[in-house]
Structure 1
Amino acid sequence: MFAVGSAMPLGFHALTFVLGALIVARIGHVEAPRSHRRRTTLRTEVAEGLAWLWRHAGMRTLTACILVMNLTGVGAFSIWVRYAREHLGLSAIGFGLFTPFWGACTAVALLSMLTWTALRHAAPDSA
């Protein structure tokens, strides 16, 4: 992708933002009756959300797991350039192909796992 031109990734990124904005623009809005509206601050709403999260153990655990997963994922992704250049010996073009290849391998692994799981649950117990 980087071999075609340095503007192509930026253009694609901009296109995804435009598509996202169009999707968000289609979301309907139902306004609450004026008598029930109260004026709140962002700080109040964040505190209310955190208090709700603290009262729900399952959601609190899920939030913590997703937080850790995202931090480790970003940490791993941040070292890919160095790994690709120094350990794999890839050029800029090679690194440009490395990321989509990783995504394709992830998709194949996911489909393989889904197939294996479906077959495993479809087969009668052998024990």
Structure 2
Amino acid sequence: MLQFINSYPATVQVTIMWFTPPCDDGNWTKKGWWVIPTGHSAVAHGGDLEDINRFWCYFASGWDGNSFWRGPIIRSVPLSAFEWCEWRGGTSSIEIGYKQVDVGDSDDVIIEFKARS
């Protein structure tokens, strides 16, 4: 299970990417958006993570425009709900940077968003 907990003082939106060969445009699928109000959580994937792959990616942004949880893996995503292969994009897409997480042999991972201190 991949779960996100929002302890940040604003709503957070999240997209994930996971290994799914062969996808039409690459070997990964990206999906979003989960909108998580402060104090709430969302399960983005309900199965055993390591059964699929040890590497998972996510990007999140606070609706206040002040915080981003990102990494160096640049992909295009739309602003509305989607499920696309990794290299698919559109004229209204934006580029974001996914952060990669090595889940090792864990079935479940919980990622918590917090304000930076």
TM over 0.5: no
**Structure with the higher strand share, 1 or 2:** 2
**Higher Cα radius of gyration:** 1
TM range (shorter): under 0.3
Q: TM-score, normalised by structure 2?
A: 0.17
Bigger helix share: 1
